[in-house]
Structure 1
Protein backbone atom coordinates (compact mmCIF):
# COMPACT_ATOMS: atom_id res chain seq x y z
CA UNK A 1 0.00 0.00 0.00
CA UNK A 2 1.46 3.33 -1.06
CA UNK A 3 0.93 6.67 -2.75
CA UNK A 4 2.91 7.91 -5.73
CA UNK A 5 2.73 11.21 -7.58
CA UNK A 6 2.30 11.41 -11.33
CA UNK A 7 4.17 14.46 -12.65
CA UNK A 8 2.42 15.73 -15.78
CA UNK A 9 4.44 18.33 -17.70
CA UNK A 10 2.80 20.61 -20.22
CA UNK A 11 3.01 24.08 -21.77
CA UNK A 12 0.53 26.83 -20.98
CA UNK A 13 0.76 30.31 -22.51
CA UNK A 14 4.28 29.50 -23.65
CA UNK A 15 5.46 28.51 -20.17
CA UNK A 16 6.35 25.07 -18.87
CA UNK A 17 4.05 23.82 -16.13
CA UNK A 18 3.64 20.67 -14.09
CA UNK A 19 0.76 19.22 -12.10
CA UNK A 20 0.91 16.23 -9.78
CA UNK A 21 -2.13 13.94 -9.73
CA UNK A 22 -1.73 11.24 -7.06
CA UNK A 23 -2.12 7.49 -7.35
CA UNK A 24 -3.04 5.33 -4.36
CA UNK A 25 -2.10 1.66 -4.66
CA UNK A 26 -3.98 -0.67 -2.31
CA UNK A 27 -2.65 -3.90 -0.80
CA UNK A 28 -4.26 -5.89 -3.63
CA UNK A 29 -2.79 -3.52 -6.26
CA UNK A 30 -6.05 -1.76 -7.07
CA UNK A 31 -5.45 1.80 -8.24
CA UNK A 32 -7.18 4.99 -7.19
CA UNK A 33 -6.39 8.14 -9.17
CA UNK A 34 -6.86 11.51 -7.49
CA UNK A 35 -7.81 14.24 -10.01
CA UNK A 36 -7.53 13.97 -13.79
CA UNK A 37 -5.79 17.06 -15.16
CA UNK A 38 -7.02 19.29 -17.96
CA UNK A 39 -9.08 18.13 -20.93
CA UNK A 40 -7.15 15.72 -23.16
CA UNK A 41 -4.71 14.77 -20.37
CA UNK A 42 -5.89 11.16 -20.22
CA UNK A 43 -3.01 9.83 -22.41
CA UNK A 44 -0.45 11.74 -20.33
CA UNK A 45 -1.77 10.26 -17.09
CA UNK A 46 -2.04 6.78 -18.62
CA UNK A 47 1.62 6.97 -19.66
CA UNK A 48 2.71 7.91 -16.14
CA UNK A 49 0.70 5.08 -14.58
CA UNK A 50 2.14 2.53 -17.04
CA UNK A 51 5.64 3.97 -16.59
CA UNK A 52 5.34 3.13 -12.89
CA UNK A 53 4.67 -0.51 -13.70
CA UNK A 54 0.87 -0.66 -13.46
CA UNK A 55 -1.87 -1.49 -15.95
CA UNK A 56 -4.95 0.60 -16.59
CA UNK A 57 -7.20 -2.42 -15.96
CA UNK A 58 -6.14 -2.05 -12.29
CA UNK A 59 -7.79 1.38 -12.08
CA UNK A 60 -10.78 1.05 -9.76
CA UNK A 61 -11.52 4.58 -8.50
CA UNK A 62 -11.10 8.19 -9.48
CA UNK A 63 -11.44 10.73 -6.68
CA UNK A 64 -12.14 14.36 -7.53
CA UNK A 65 -11.01 16.87 -4.91
CA UNK A 66 -13.05 19.71 -6.44
CA UNK A 67 -14.57 21.15 -9.60
CA UNK A 68 -11.84 23.06 -11.45
CA UNK A 69 -10.91 22.47 -15.07
CA UNK A 70 -7.36 21.37 -14.24
CA UNK A 71 -8.71 18.72 -11.85
CA UNK A 72 -11.74 17.34 -13.71
CA UNK A 73 -10.88 18.17 -17.33
CA UNK A 74 -10.32 14.54 -18.33
CA UNK A 75 -12.81 12.93 -15.94
CA UNK A 76 -15.41 12.32 -18.65
CA UNK A 77 -12.77 10.74 -20.92
CA UNK A 78 -11.69 8.39 -18.13
CA UNK A 79 -15.26 7.26 -17.53
CA UNK A 80 -15.89 6.66 -21.24
CA UNK A 81 -12.70 4.65 -21.74
CA UNK A 82 -12.86 2.86 -18.39
CA UNK A 83 -16.57 2.59 -17.53
CA UNK A 84 -15.80 0.28 -14.61
CA UNK A 85 -14.25 3.07 -12.55
CA UNK A 86 -16.00 4.35 -9.46
CA UNK A 87 -16.06 8.17 -9.39
CA UNK A 88 -15.87 9.64 -5.89
CA UNK A 89 -16.45 13.28 -4.96
CA UNK A 90 -17.91 15.35 -2.16
CA UNK A 91 -21.68 15.65 -2.09
CA UNK A 92 -21.40 19.38 -2.79
CA UNK A 93 -19.01 19.08 -5.74
CA UNK A 94 -20.97 16.16 -7.20
CA UNK A 95 -23.82 18.51 -8.14
CA UNK A 96 -21.44 20.53 -10.33
CA UNK A 97 -19.66 17.50 -11.79
CA UNK A 98 -22.96 15.90 -12.82
CA UNK A 99 -24.34 19.18 -14.17
CA UNK A 100 -27.27 19.36 -11.75
CA UNK A 101 -26.18 22.88 -10.80
CA UNK A 102 -23.99 25.36 -12.67
CA UNK A 103 -20.58 25.21 -11.04
CA UNK A 104 -19.70 28.00 -8.64
CA UNK A 105 -16.37 28.42 -10.47
CA UNK A 106 -18.22 29.16 -13.73
CA UNK A 107 -20.54 31.60 -11.94
CA UNK A 108 -17.47 33.32 -10.46
CA UNK A 109 -15.67 33.47 -13.83
CA UNK A 110 -18.71 34.90 -15.61
CA UNK A 111 -19.16 37.53 -12.91
CA UNK A 112 -15.49 38.53 -13.08
CA UNK A 113 -15.70 39.16 -16.83
CA UNK A 114 -17.67 42.35 -16.25
CA UNK A 115 -14.83 44.00 -14.30
CA UNK A 116 -11.72 42.60 -15.97
CA UNK A 117 -9.24 45.11 -17.46
CA UNK A 118 -8.87 44.89 -21.23
CA UNK A 119 -5.47 43.18 -21.05
CA UNK A 120 -7.00 40.31 -19.04
CA UNK A 121 -10.31 40.10 -20.90
CA UNK A 122 -9.10 37.71 -23.60
CA UNK A 123 -7.93 35.20 -21.00
CA UNK A 124 -11.13 35.66 -19.00
CA UNK A 125 -13.28 34.85 -22.02
CA UNK A 126 -11.12 31.82 -22.82
CA UNK A 127 -11.39 30.58 -19.22
CA UNK A 128 -15.18 30.85 -19.23
CA UNK A 129 -15.29 28.93 -22.51
CA UNK A 130 -13.10 26.19 -21.04
CA UNK A 131 -15.44 25.77 -18.09
CA UNK A 132 -18.50 25.71 -20.33
CA UNK A 133 -16.95 22.98 -22.50
CA UNK A 134 -16.39 20.58 -19.60
CA UNK A 135 -18.50 17.46 -20.04
CA UNK A 136 -20.64 16.35 -17.13
CA UNK A 137 -20.47 12.89 -15.65
CA UNK A 138 -22.39 11.18 -12.85
CA UNK A 139 -20.66 10.73 -9.50
CA UNK A 140 -20.94 7.14 -8.24
CA UNK A 141 -19.97 7.72 -4.61
CA UNK A 142 -20.75 10.95 -2.75
CA UNK A 143 -18.75 11.59 0.41
CA UNK A 144 -18.77 13.99 3.34
CA UNK A 145 -16.43 15.14 6.08
CA UNK A 146 -15.21 12.25 8.24
CA UNK A 147 -16.22 9.44 5.87
CA UNK A 148 -13.81 6.50 5.63
CA UNK A 149 -13.29 5.13 2.12
CA UNK A 150 -10.95 2.78 0.25
CA UNK A 151 -11.44 -0.05 2.76
CA UNK A 152 -11.17 2.48 5.61
CA UNK A 153 -7.62 3.43 4.60
CA UNK A 154 -8.62 6.99 3.65
CA UNK A 155 -10.46 9.61 5.69
CA UNK A 156 -12.32 12.41 3.92
CA UNK A 157 -11.54 15.84 5.35
CA UNK A 158 -13.69 18.77 4.28
CA UNK A 159 -11.39 21.64 3.29
CA UNK A 160 -13.67 24.36 1.88
CA UNK A 161 -12.50 27.77 0.75
CA UNK A 162 -10.95 27.26 -2.65
CA UNK A 163 -14.36 25.83 -3.50
CA UNK A 164 -17.20 25.11 -1.10
CA UNK A 165 -17.08 21.32 -1.46
CA UNK A 166 -13.32 20.81 -1.67
CA UNK A 167 -12.05 17.64 0.02
CA UNK A 168 -8.63 16.52 1.23
CA UNK A 169 -7.65 12.85 1.57
CA UNK A 170 -5.96 11.70 4.77
CA UNK A 171 -4.23 8.30 5.00
CA UNK A 172 -3.37 7.79 8.70
CA UNK A 173 -1.47 4.51 8.27
CA UNK A 174 0.72 6.07 5.56
CA UNK A 175 1.13 9.34 7.48
CA UNK A 176 0.13 11.03 4.24
CA UNK A 177 -2.35 13.58 2.95
CA UNK A 178 -3.40 14.52 -0.59
CA UNK A 179 -4.36 18.19 -0.60
CA UNK A 180 -5.85 19.02 -4.02
CA UNK A 181 -5.88 22.83 -4.04
CA UNK A 182 -6.42 23.27 -0.30
CA UNK A 183 -2.64 23.56 0.03
CA UNK A 184 0.15 24.22 -2.44
CA UNK A 185 3.82 23.42 -1.94
CA UNK A 186 5.94 26.57 -1.91
CA UNK A 187 9.58 25.66 -1.22
CA UNK A 188 9.34 23.91 2.18
CA UNK A 189 6.02 25.39 3.21
CA UNK A 190 2.33 25.14 2.39
CA UNK A 191 0.32 28.09 1.11
CA UNK A 192 -3.18 28.76 -0.21
CA UNK A 193 -3.68 28.09 -3.92
CA UNK A 194 -4.60 31.21 -5.95
CA UNK A 195 -6.03 33.28 -3.06
CA UNK A 196 -7.73 35.69 -5.50
CA UNK A 197 -9.77 32.77 -6.90
CA UNK A 198 -10.75 31.35 -3.51
CA UNK A 199 -14.49 31.48 -3.06
CA UNK A 200 -14.03 32.05 0.69
CA UNK A 201 -10.55 33.12 1.78
CA UNK A 202 -11.26 32.77 5.51
CA UNK A 203 -12.43 29.19 5.02
CA UNK A 204 -9.36 28.56 2.85
CA UNK A 205 -7.09 29.74 5.67
CA UNK A 206 -8.89 27.51 8.16
CA UNK A 207 -8.59 24.54 5.81
CA UNK A 208 -4.87 25.15 5.32
CA UNK A 209 -4.37 25.20 9.08
CA UNK A 210 -6.38 21.99 9.38
CA UNK A 211 -3.97 20.30 6.95
CA UNK A 212 -0.91 21.69 8.73
CA UNK A 213 -2.19 20.27 12.03
CA UNK A 214 -2.50 16.72 10.71
CA UNK A 215 0.07 14.25 12.01
CA UNK A 216 1.62 13.39 8.67
CA UNK A 217 5.05 13.02 7.14
CA UNK A 218 4.17 13.22 3.46
CA UNK A 219 2.02 15.91 1.85
CA UNK A 220 1.04 15.42 -1.79
CA UNK A 221 0.22 18.75 -3.41
CA UNK A 222 -1.34 18.94 -6.85
CA UNK A 223 0.66 22.11 -7.46
CA UNK A 224 4.25 21.89 -6.31
CA UNK A 225 4.50 18.17 -5.71
CA UNK A 226 5.36 16.12 -2.67
CA UNK A 227 6.50 17.75 0.57
CA UNK A 228 8.31 15.57 3.10
CA UNK A 229 8.32 16.89 6.64
Structure 2
Protein backbone atom coordinates (compact mmCIF):
# COMPACT_ATOMS: atom_id res chain seq x y z
CA UNK A 1 0.00 0.00 0.00
CA UNK A 2 1.25 3.49 -0.89
CA UNK A 3 0.90 6.59 1.25
CA UNK A 4 1.41 10.31 0.64
CA UNK A 5 2.18 12.34 3.77
CA UNK A 6 2.33 16.14 3.86
CA UNK A 7 4.97 17.36 6.32
CA UNK A 8 3.60 20.80 7.16
CA UNK A 9 6.53 22.47 8.94
CA UNK A 10 5.83 25.70 10.80
CA UNK A 11 8.69 28.04 11.62
CA UNK A 12 9.45 31.70 12.17
CA UNK A 13 11.58 33.77 9.83
CA UNK A 14 12.21 37.50 10.13
CA UNK A 15 9.54 37.66 12.80
CA UNK A 16 6.88 36.05 10.61
CA UNK A 17 5.35 32.59 10.84
CA UNK A 18 5.81 30.51 7.72
CA UNK A 19 4.92 27.00 6.59
CA UNK A 20 6.60 24.78 4.03
CA UNK A 21 5.32 21.41 2.91
CA UNK A 22 7.87 18.73 2.06
CA UNK A 23 6.19 15.45 1.08
CA UNK A 24 6.95 11.96 2.31
CA UNK A 25 6.05 8.99 0.12
CA UNK A 26 5.92 5.57 1.70
CA UNK A 27 5.26 2.01 0.56
CA UNK A 28 6.31 -1.43 1.79
CA UNK A 29 9.89 -1.02 0.55
CA UNK A 30 10.60 2.68 0.06
CA UNK A 31 10.38 5.95 1.96
CA UNK A 32 11.01 8.99 -0.22
CA UNK A 33 11.26 12.61 0.89
CA UNK A 34 10.51 15.42 -1.58
CA UNK A 35 12.60 18.50 -0.62
CA UNK A 36 13.98 19.11 2.86
CA UNK A 37 13.70 22.72 4.02
CA UNK A 38 16.24 25.27 5.20
CA UNK A 39 19.56 24.54 6.94
CA UNK A 40 19.15 22.97 10.41
CA UNK A 41 15.67 21.67 9.61
CA UNK A 42 16.57 18.02 10.22
CA UNK A 43 14.96 17.93 13.71
CA UNK A 44 11.80 19.52 12.28
CA UNK A 45 11.68 16.95 9.49
CA UNK A 46 12.17 14.10 11.94
CA UNK A 47 9.39 15.39 14.20
CA UNK A 48 6.99 15.91 11.29
CA UNK A 49 7.66 12.40 9.95
CA UNK A 50 7.13 10.86 13.39
CA UNK A 51 3.63 12.37 13.48
CA UNK A 52 2.86 10.01 10.60
CA UNK A 53 4.50 7.08 12.36
CA UNK A 54 7.59 7.18 10.14
CA UNK A 55 11.23 7.36 11.21
CA UNK A 56 13.66 9.05 8.82
CA UNK A 57 15.99 6.08 9.37
CA UNK A 58 13.73 4.32 6.84
CA UNK A 59 14.47 6.92 4.14
CA UNK A 60 15.62 5.40 0.88
CA UNK A 61 15.73 8.55 -1.27
CA UNK A 62 15.39 12.33 -1.32
CA UNK A 63 14.12 13.91 -4.52
CA UNK A 64 15.05 17.57 -4.95
CA UNK A 65 12.74 19.76 -7.04
CA UNK A 66 15.38 22.52 -7.46
CA UNK A 67 18.32 24.13 -5.67
CA UNK A 68 16.62 27.00 -3.78
CA UNK A 69 17.79 27.26 -0.16
CA UNK A 70 14.43 26.34 1.38
CA UNK A 71 14.37 23.10 -0.60
CA UNK A 72 17.96 21.89 -0.15
CA UNK A 73 19.21 23.58 3.02
CA UNK A 74 19.24 20.34 5.04
CA UNK A 75 20.19 18.01 2.18
CA UNK A 76 23.83 17.50 3.18
CA UNK A 77 22.86 16.98 6.82
CA UNK A 78 20.28 14.38 5.80
CA UNK A 79 22.84 12.47 3.76
CA UNK A 80 25.40 12.64 6.56
CA UNK A 81 22.90 11.42 9.16
CA UNK A 82 21.27 8.80 6.93
CA UNK A 83 23.99 7.80 4.45
CA UNK A 84 21.83 5.09 2.89
CA UNK A 85 19.63 7.65 1.13
CA UNK A 86 19.92 8.25 -2.61
CA UNK A 87 19.86 11.94 -3.57
CA UNK A 88 17.93 12.39 -6.80
CA UNK A 89 17.67 15.55 -8.92
CA UNK A 90 17.13 16.76 -12.47
CA UNK A 91 20.28 16.38 -14.55
CA UNK A 92 21.03 20.10 -14.96
CA UNK A 93 20.80 20.69 -11.18
CA UNK A 94 23.78 18.47 -10.34
CA UNK A 95 26.60 21.09 -10.44
CA UNK A 96 24.58 23.59 -8.37
CA UNK A 97 23.81 21.04 -5.69
CA UNK A 98 27.40 19.81 -5.63
CA UNK A 99 28.75 23.36 -5.39
CA UNK A 100 30.83 23.15 -8.56
CA UNK A 101 28.72 25.95 -10.12
CA UNK A 102 27.53 29.11 -8.42
CA UNK A 103 23.90 29.00 -7.35
CA UNK A 104 21.63 30.72 -9.86
CA UNK A 105 19.97 32.42 -6.90
CA UNK A 106 23.33 33.94 -5.90
CA UNK A 107 23.89 35.15 -9.46
CA UNK A 108 20.42 36.68 -9.48
CA UNK A 109 21.02 38.45 -6.15
CA UNK A 110 24.47 39.71 -7.20
CA UNK A 111 23.00 41.18 -10.39
CA UNK A 112 20.76 43.48 -8.34
CA UNK A 113 23.45 44.93 -6.07
CA UNK A 114 24.36 47.94 -8.23
CA UNK A 115 20.70 49.02 -8.40
CA UNK A 116 20.12 48.96 -4.65
CA UNK A 117 20.14 51.91 -2.29
CA UNK A 118 22.80 52.12 0.44
CA UNK A 119 20.13 51.06 2.95
CA UNK A 120 19.09 48.00 0.92
CA UNK A 121 22.54 46.74 -0.05
CA UNK A 122 23.58 45.29 3.37
CA UNK A 123 20.45 43.12 3.43
CA UNK A 124 21.16 41.82 -0.06
CA UNK A 125 24.79 41.10 0.82
CA UNK A 126 23.69 39.22 3.95
CA UNK A 127 21.28 37.18 1.81
CA UNK A 128 24.11 36.30 -0.57
CA UNK A 129 26.33 35.22 2.33
CA UNK A 130 23.51 33.03 3.61
CA UNK A 131 23.15 31.38 0.19
CA UNK A 132 26.91 30.84 0.03
CA UNK A 133 26.83 29.11 3.43
CA UNK A 134 24.54 26.29 2.29
CA UNK A 135 26.44 23.03 2.37
CA UNK A 136 26.77 21.29 -1.01
CA UNK A 137 25.65 17.71 -1.57
CA UNK A 138 26.48 15.25 -4.33
CA UNK A 139 23.65 13.81 -6.42
CA UNK A 140 23.52 10.01 -6.57
CA UNK A 141 21.04 9.70 -9.42
CA UNK A 142 19.81 12.07 -12.10
CA UNK A 143 16.38 12.02 -13.68
CA UNK A 144 15.02 13.40 -16.93
CA UNK A 145 11.68 14.69 -18.20
CA UNK A 146 8.89 12.06 -18.22
CA UNK A 147 11.13 9.47 -16.62
CA UNK A 148 9.14 7.14 -14.39
CA UNK A 149 10.45 5.85 -11.10
CA UNK A 150 8.81 2.56 -10.07
CA UNK A 151 8.41 3.31 -6.36
CA UNK A 152 5.29 4.17 -4.36
CA UNK A 153 2.88 3.33 -7.16
CA UNK A 154 4.94 5.12 -9.81
CA UNK A 155 6.43 8.61 -9.88
CA UNK A 156 6.67 10.54 -13.15
CA UNK A 157 9.25 13.32 -13.38
CA UNK A 158 7.96 16.49 -15.06
CA UNK A 159 10.47 19.17 -16.06
CA UNK A 160 8.73 22.43 -15.11
CA UNK A 161 11.27 25.24 -15.66
CA UNK A 162 10.60 28.93 -15.12
CA UNK A 163 11.03 29.41 -11.39
CA UNK A 164 14.45 27.87 -12.05
CA UNK A 165 15.70 26.18 -15.24
CA UNK A 166 16.12 22.77 -13.60
CA UNK A 167 12.87 22.76 -11.62
CA UNK A 168 10.85 19.53 -11.60
CA UNK A 169 7.38 18.57 -10.43
CA UNK A 170 6.32 15.00 -9.63
CA UNK A 171 3.17 13.13 -10.68
CA UNK A 172 2.14 10.17 -8.57
CA UNK A 173 0.47 7.79 -10.98
CA UNK A 174 -1.48 5.64 -8.52
CA UNK A 175 -3.15 8.47 -6.62
CA UNK A 176 -3.11 11.02 -9.47
CA UNK A 177 -1.38 13.49 -7.18
CA UNK A 178 0.72 16.37 -8.51
CA UNK A 179 3.57 17.54 -6.30
CA UNK A 180 4.18 20.94 -7.87
CA UNK A 181 7.21 22.12 -5.89
CA UNK A 182 7.49 25.84 -6.65
CA UNK A 183 5.84 25.66 -10.08
CA UNK A 184 2.78 27.13 -8.35
CA UNK A 185 1.85 28.20 -4.81
CA UNK A 186 -1.53 27.97 -3.09
CA UNK A 187 -2.78 31.11 -1.38
CA UNK A 188 -6.28 32.14 -0.28
CA UNK A 189 -7.96 29.47 -2.39
CA UNK A 190 -6.06 30.40 -5.55
CA UNK A 191 -2.97 29.21 -7.36
CA UNK A 192 -0.25 31.71 -8.20
CA UNK A 193 3.25 31.73 -9.68
CA UNK A 194 5.74 31.26 -6.84
CA UNK A 195 7.63 34.45 -5.90
CA UNK A 196 7.33 36.26 -9.24
CA UNK A 197 10.31 38.48 -8.33
CA UNK A 198 12.45 35.35 -8.02
CA UNK A 199 11.00 33.53 -11.04
CA UNK A 200 13.79 33.47 -13.59
CA UNK A 201 11.62 33.19 -16.70
CA UNK A 202 7.94 34.04 -16.34
CA UNK A 203 6.90 32.96 -19.85
CA UNK A 204 8.53 29.58 -19.33
CA UNK A 205 6.89 29.31 -15.89
CA UNK A 206 3.45 29.79 -17.50
CA UNK A 207 4.24 27.12 -20.10
CA UNK A 208 5.12 24.80 -17.23
CA UNK A 209 1.71 25.46 -15.67
CA UNK A 210 0.15 24.58 -19.02
CA UNK A 211 2.13 21.34 -18.97
CA UNK A 212 0.75 20.49 -15.52
CA UNK A 213 -2.73 20.81 -17.00
CA UNK A 214 -2.08 17.89 -19.35
CA UNK A 215 -2.10 15.52 -16.35
CA UNK A 216 -5.21 14.02 -14.80
CA UNK A 217 -4.69 15.54 -11.36
CA UNK A 218 -7.02 14.70 -8.49
CA UNK A 219 -5.03 16.56 -5.86
CA UNK A 220 -2.27 19.13 -6.07
CA UNK A 221 0.36 19.79 -3.41
CA UNK A 222 2.38 23.01 -3.33
CA UNK A 223 5.56 23.47 -1.31
CA UNK A 224 4.14 26.82 -0.24
CA UNK A 225 0.47 26.41 0.57
CA UNK A 226 0.29 22.64 0.97
CA UNK A 227 -2.67 20.69 -0.37
CA UNK A 228 -4.78 22.84 -2.68
CA UNK A 229 -8.43 22.73 -1.60
CA UNK A 230 -10.74 22.97 -4.60
CA UNK A 231 -10.69 22.14 -8.29
CA UNK A 232 -6.97 22.14 -9.12
CA UNK A 233 -7.48 21.98 -12.88
CA UNK A 234 -9.85 24.94 -12.85
CA UNK A 235 -7.41 26.90 -10.68
CA UNK A 236 -4.54 26.14 -13.09
CA UNK A 237 -6.73 27.32 -15.99
CA UNK A 238 -7.53 30.55 -14.14
CA UNK A 239 -3.86 31.15 -13.41
CA UNK A 240 -2.93 30.75 -17.08
CA UNK A 241 -5.84 32.94 -18.17
CA UNK A 242 -4.90 35.69 -15.72
CA UNK A 243 -1.31 35.83 -16.92
CA UNK A 244 -2.29 35.60 -20.59
CA UNK A 245 -4.76 38.48 -20.14
CA UNK A 246 -2.16 40.55 -18.29
CA UNK A 247 0.39 39.84 -20.98
CA UNK A 248 -1.96 41.01 -23.71
CA UNK A 249 -2.92 44.17 -21.80
CA UNK A 250 0.74 45.10 -21.38
CA UNK A 251 1.46 44.94 -25.12
Same fold (TM over 0.5): yes
Q: Spell out the pairing of 1:103-118 with structure 2 (5 A cutoff).
A: 103-118=103-118
Question: TM-score, length-normalised on structure 2?
Answer: 0.87
Contact 1:19 1:222 in 2 (8 A): yes
Name the counterpart of 1:194.
Answer: 195
Displacement after TM superposition at 1:119 (Å):
4.1
Contact 1:191 1:208 in 2 (8 A): no
Displacement after TM superposition at 1:209 (Å):
2.1
Name the counterpart of 2:249.
Answer: none
1:168 aligns with 2:172: no
Larger radius of gyration: 2
Contact 1:36 1:74 in 2 (8 A): yes
Using the TM superposition, name which of 127-136 and 185-194 deviates more: 185-194
- CA RMSD, 1 decimal: 1.4
Name the counterpart of 1:82.
Answer: 82
Deviation track 1:140-198 (CA, whole Å, cap 9, x = no partner) reads 01011011114370000000000000000011221101111111012232211011111
Deviation track 1:98-153 (CA, whole Å, cap 9, x = no partner) reads 11211211111111122123443233112101110011111001011011114370
Q: Spell out the pairing of 1:1-229 with structure 2 (5 A cutoff).
A: 1-26=2-27, 28=28, 30-151=30-151, 153-228=154-229, 229=231
Distance in 2 (alpha carbons) for counterparts of 1:208 and 1:118: 38
Segments of structure 1 that go 5 or more residues without pairing to the other structure are none
What is the SS of the residue equivalent to 1:174?
A: coil
What is the SS of the residue equivalent to 1:157?
A: strand
What is the SS of the residue equivalent to 2:25?
A: strand
In the alignment of these two chains, the number of paired residues is 228
What is the SS of the residue equivalent to 1:155?
A: strand
Structure of greater relative contact order (alpha carbons < 8 Å, 6+ residues apart): 1
Contact 1:29 1:58 in 2 (8 A): no
What is the SS of the residue equivalent to 1:24?
A: strand
Contact 1:37 1:70 in 2 (8 A): yes
Question: TM-score, length-normalised on structure 1?
Answer: 0.95
What is the SS of the residue equivalent to 2:47?
A: helix
Distance in 2 (alpha carbons) for counterparts of 1:98 and 1:219: 30
Distance in 2 (alpha carbons) for counterparts of 1:119 and 1:80: 39
Using the TM superposition, name which of 62-71 and 101-110 deviates more: 101-110
